[in-house]
């Protein structure tokens, strides 16, 4: 069996994570998939999120690298998407996509994905999205970060 590295994104909004269900599949999974030849893991994660969810993501950081039994690597990134609505209906090989409460997702994902999600959630500083106020001379500026 040929080695096939892959890249996935953990996208968190408030207390929910974005998950997808493949066509004909019974289990939910994190958005992601195989890395194409001459493609970096981070570009593969961005491409897969776009293909599977219809959303453009911004990667926030690498949360883990995992080795499968066949020797292939799995790269997992923390990511953020805008506030646009997640498209309904089939999109490429994905039948459904949904924001799911993180606790529920940890129970519903396959064990390997659940471990990767739990590891990613330990990097809570990457997902911080509360606006921070900074007072500067003669102006009030808001920043997201």
Q: What is the pLDDT of residues 41-66, one digit of tens each?
A: 999 999 999 999 999 999 999 999 99
Quick one: DSSP state of residue 36? P
Task: Quote the tokens at residue 39.
Answer: 């493609």
- The number of residues in the chain equals 145
Per-residue pLDDT tens digits for 24-38:
888 999 999 999 999
φ, ψ for residue 26, nearest 5 deg: -100, -15
Q: Is residue 49 within 8 Å of residue 79, measured between CB atoms? A: yes
Handedness of CA 19, 114, 9, 59 (dihedral sign): positive
Q: Would you say 19 and 45 are in contact if contact means Cβ atoms under 8 Å apart?
A: no
CATH of domain 6-144: 3.90.79.10
pTM of the model: 0.82
**Domain boundary assignment for the chain:** 6-144
């Amino acid at each position: 069996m040929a080695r096939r590295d892959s890249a996935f994104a953990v996208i968190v909004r408030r207390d929910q994570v974005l998950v997808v269900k493949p066509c004909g599949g019974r289990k939910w999974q994190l958005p992601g998939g195989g890395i194409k030849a001459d493609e970096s893991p981070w570009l593969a994660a961005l491409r897969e999120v776009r293909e599977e969810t219809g959303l453009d993501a911004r990667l926030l950081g690498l949360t883990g690298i995992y080795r499968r039994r066949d020797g292939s690597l799995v790269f997992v990134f923390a990511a953020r998407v805008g506030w646009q609505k997640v498209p309904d209906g089939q999109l490429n090989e994905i039948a459904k996509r949904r924001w799911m409460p993180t606790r529920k997702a940890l129970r519903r994902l396959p064990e390997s994905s659940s471990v990767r999600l739990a590891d990613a959630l330990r990097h809570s500083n990457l997902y911080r999205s509360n606006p921070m106020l900074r007072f500067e001379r003669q102006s009030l500026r808001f920043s997201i970060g």
